[in-house]
Structure 1
């Protein structure tokens, strides 16, 4: 009983809402000594172990656990239907209700909402309900509008996911697919397909308008054996230790044109590389070296980072060798030589690190017109094999804080958490050209502004807002307003 009372009620309620057992929550709280993200890590590691056990054994006890888990989910669904909706909080974003296997889909929808080019383009479409393509696009528009204007802290993606555009193959794919970047582009592909079908039916043409609209954002043209190849997803197999190392080794002097948004998939191959190996997500990148006409002047800070990474790898190798000899109790003379060399390398590493930090600070604050400079925008991590262990971190360039989207919630977190989790669990990273930063800042300011208006007046007439009327189709805005009025009835 004492342990139970030691867990803050809001923490207990949050994890109970995610269907964790009370005793398990208390145990994790005790082991973490009340530290927030250590507690979170213990929770999801415990769930991953449970998931692995349930998929590898057929014992009766495991079957009992599965049945109990299914019962918990069933009860949770019933509870969600009767629990009253909570009003939206000021200065915050709206979450998407977590419906078991679709949490990765939900955080990818949140990512689309946080990319102004995608957001504005999708809302500009003149959709209709005359066919399934128009109905699907209308569902996308309504969801994006609710994420912006809802007077509740939580909305549902059920209408979108139940749209007739999804055939059985699509549904099966979304049920089993756990790779965020594949789901992200799968959703964009469905939007592309629907938009082409809708537009072509209206114009009697057969053109791909969506890809033309966004080729300057996602497509990177690289030179590969004298052949131009369109690429918008760059993949690293974890052979490198940072985003910069990956790009430098794989794409130096191979790019004809840089995209506005760069997507990088980090593949942690269990057969070749330890899953716990750290992968550094560089905050800012100077990518001039990617262009085919690169002459070597622009590498500056990045090549020094690359040299430092190789130096740090040498230090790790020396440390491992010294530890091995020490444990064996032999080769004392060699150990002394290695320790001396290790000390020299560590001193050199500290000097390089200090110099890089000074240059990095100067680089981070120089967001002027530079078409080769990129800043990290989002990081998607997955701490286990279960889908609801996925987290989306989105950087707010104005406040210089990280937003964390997880399990229907959006909160602000410290840089330390993002660094620790991204090094060990990152799967998908997006970078934006720094020329776009003012546009991204303006987008988030607009989202927060309307959110604060609605949170201060939960019956606010959205149709009276000129900015919303200019951006969002009239029928979509009207439906969102009616939904808000229905939501208000549950706020008492």
Structure 2
């Protein structure tokens, strides 16, 4: 095996610093990876350096004194220092991981959206089917930039790609430009993004090279494919892109039941269901928007038949379920109290760690572990009851939707960070897309973090799931093999990705030193 070394370019350095890592931590993670000759462990060592810097330092440099992670880094140019301490190798993507996206400045919400859209093969096909005219108008430029983005995310061997061009061409007027770096709401950005795609396709529909089905009506989208993919509509032509999920409903199932289950409307269900959890509220006393972190249960599968037609048995089932003692308001408050107590214990333990009172640390840690056991028992009981509800619904319902992604927001309402969890149906694994950092994660961790911080939740139909799975299998073959003309023809990628983009990315991959 060749001795692989790692070097990070300046954009990735900036991205890692924005994610909260110090230069010292980045350097130590690089040295740890190089000493083990395993590029795939970079993210692991990066977190290790952040949480246990001294311990990792003693492993990497057993004969040296620890260089404390909280000491200032003695260099005027952090990127030059990193270059000095590494070989001339360029950091290439781990073949087991997808391509990340560079955060050029407060655009984590946009990167999360783009990663989600890439995992929609119907949407990707719409974009690639557009024949770029290179006429330098805003519609053509926007669609062209999207094609380049998707092609690079699918074919590139780079760790990450810069999507700033897409953002630049998506904003068409001065008011839009003022939102760059300021827009914080994923939902609003998603609506703007899809409208821009729809408007661009509609503007170009008269081109002799384009052919897109158009709905000549007052629908949210004119493009029929976009409507079938994303819009929930009723017989009054009311269109919903994001289904509002009130925290008081406590779960996705209760959201559907309270929002649609008791209505007598003819609904058209899209292939993708988007839920927006009400994590933000206006505080009249402080006159500020505050973020809410109450529990909200996200199911990995849901039946939706009861929102399409009235099913008496299902209505009775939900009424009995929500009237039960296990899901009373008092029970939910008890569970929230457990969380507050655990947080308080952890804060006190940190204090005694700073003054090195080992007896108190030992006692408090023991008490904390007992509290966590009780907390886990409460949570498990809640999960068991929701599984029971799902099982009961299966007796009357047959149309199933599957959890596909969760957009998570960390921080407060005014300042925070977005990233997205996306499920890979082919590999049956979850992946975290945190700007340039992409890694595999456990489902338990996904649901644990999302129950208090999940903001946008998406589900997909069985038909959509099969299409996504097929695209995932193709992407996996590309990622596991060196990109070549033979592979381009064998996988019939010419039906998906324009040849000029393939050539450009193929040449770029050759310049990456493995």
- Structure 1 length as normaliser, TM-score? 0.70
- Please state if 1:412 is matched with 2:440: yes
Q: Confirm whether residue 218 of structure 1 aligns to residue 256 of structure 2.
A: no
RMSD (Å), alpha carbons: 4.5
Give 2:61's aligned residue. Answer: none
Superposition pairs of residues 239-258 of structure 1, within 5 angstroms: 239-254=248-263, 255-256=265-266, 257-258=268-269
Listed as ranges, the matches of 1:63-82 within 5 Å are none
Alignment equivalent of 2:427, drawn from 391, 394, 399 = 399
Structure 1 pair 143–347 and aligned structure 2 pair: CA distance change class (3 A) = closer
**Equivalent residue runs for 1:144-163 within 5 Å:** 144-163=150-169
- Measured at CA, do residues 147 and 387 of structure 1 come closer, stay the same or move farther in structure 2, by a change above 3 Å? farther
- Which residue in the other structure is 2:364 paired with? none
- With over 3 angstroms needed to count, the CA separation of the structure-2 counterparts of 1:230 and 1:159, relative to structure 1, is closer
**Partners of 2:172 and 2:231 in 1: CA distance:** 26
Residues 1:376 and 2:403 are matched in the alignment: yes
- Which position in structure 1 is the counterpart of 2:245? 236
Please give the alpha-carbon distance, in whole angstroms, between the structure 2 residues aligned to 1:228 and 1:139. 32
Aligned to 1:129: 134
Task: State the match for 2:274 in structure 1.
Answer: 263
**Corresponding residue of 1:101:** 106
Cα deviation 1:136-167 (Å, max 9, x = unaligned): 21111111111111122222213323338633
Query: How far off its partner does 1:395 sit?
Result: 1.1
In structure 2, C-alpha distance between the alignment counterparts of 1:319 and 1:160, rounded to whole Å:
44
1:197 is displaced (CA, Å) by 1.1
CA distance in 2, matches of 1:105, 1:363: 36
Please name the residue that 2:119 is paired with. Answer: 114
Equivalent position SS for 1:176: coil
Aligned partner (choices 444, 452, 464) of residue 436 of structure 1: 464
Deviations 1:297-334 (A, max 9, x none): 45687667645686353324578999xxxxxxxxxxxx
How far has the Cα of 1:263 moved from its partner?
0.7
Taking structure 1 as reference, are residues 290 and 433 closer, same or farther at Cα in structure 2, changes over 3 Å only? same
Structure 1: segments with no counterpart, 5+ residues? 1-8, 27-34, 44-67, 323-345
Partner of residue 290, structure 1: 307
For each residue in 1:35-58, what CA deviation from the matched residue of structure 2 results, as whole angstroms up to 9, or x when unmatched? 989x79x99xxxxxxxxxxxxxxx
TM-score for both structures, normalised by structure 2: 0.67
Distance between the aligned counterparts of 1:374 and 1:470, measured in 2? 29
Q: Using the alignment, how far apart are the partners of 1:305 and 1:84 within structure 2?
A: 59
Residue equivalent to 1:29:
none
Kindly indicate whether the alpha-carbon contact (under 8 Å) linking 1:149 and 1:450 is maintained by their aligned counterparts in 2: yes
Shift of 1:242: 1.0
Report the more deviating stretch, 203-212 or 418-427: 203-212
Alignment gaps of 5+ in structure 2:
1-6, 28-42, 52-71, 216-221, 284-289, 339-375
Note the alpha carbon deviations across 1:65-92, whole angstroms, 9 max, x for none.
xxx9xx99x9669989x98642232232
Return the structure number with greater helix share.
Answer: 1
Q: Secondary structure at the match of 2:123?
A: helix
Query: Is the 2:140–2:200 contact (alpha carbons within 8 Å) kept by the matching residues of 1?
Result: yes
Give the structure 2 partner of residue 91 of structure 1: 96
What is the alpha-carbon distance in structure 2 between the residues aligned to residue 414 and residue 304 of structure 1? 33
Q: Distance in 1 between matches of 2:141 and 2:477?
A: 29
Give the secondary-structure state (helix, strand or coil) at the position aligned to 1:472: coil
Q: Structure 2: how far apart are the matches of 1:16 and 1:203? A: 45
Partner of 2:495: 470
2:26 and 2:247 map into 1 onto residues whose CA distance is 33
Measure how far apart 1:185 and its partner are: 2.3
The one of the two structures with greater contact order (alpha-carbon pairs below 8 A, sep at least 6) is 1
Count of aligned pairs:
409
> Structure 1 residue 271: deviation in Å?
3.6
Classify 1:76/1:363 alpha carbon distance in 2 versus 1 (closer, same or farther; 3 Å): farther
Structure 1 distance, partners of 2:21, 2:337, is 43
Aligned residue number for residue 513 of structure 2:
491
- Following TM superposition, by how much is the alpha carbon of 1:490 offset from its aligned partner in structure 2, in angstroms? 4.0
What residue is the counterpart of 1:141 in the other structure?
A: 147
Q: Closer, same or farther in 2 for the Cα pair 1:414/1:300, shift >3 Å?
A: farther
User: Residues 211 and 319 (structure 1 numbering): CA distance in 2 closer, same or farther, change over 3 Å?
Assistant: closer
* Whole-angstrom distance in 1 between the partners of 2:320 and 2:379: 11
Q: 1:260 to 1:397 in 2, by over 3 A?
A: same
The structural deviation recorded for 1:471 is 1.7
SS at match of 1:410: strand
Q: Which residue of 1 aligns with 2:199?
A: 193
For 1:108 and 1:244, locate their aligned partners in 2 and report how far apart those are by CA, in whole Å: 24
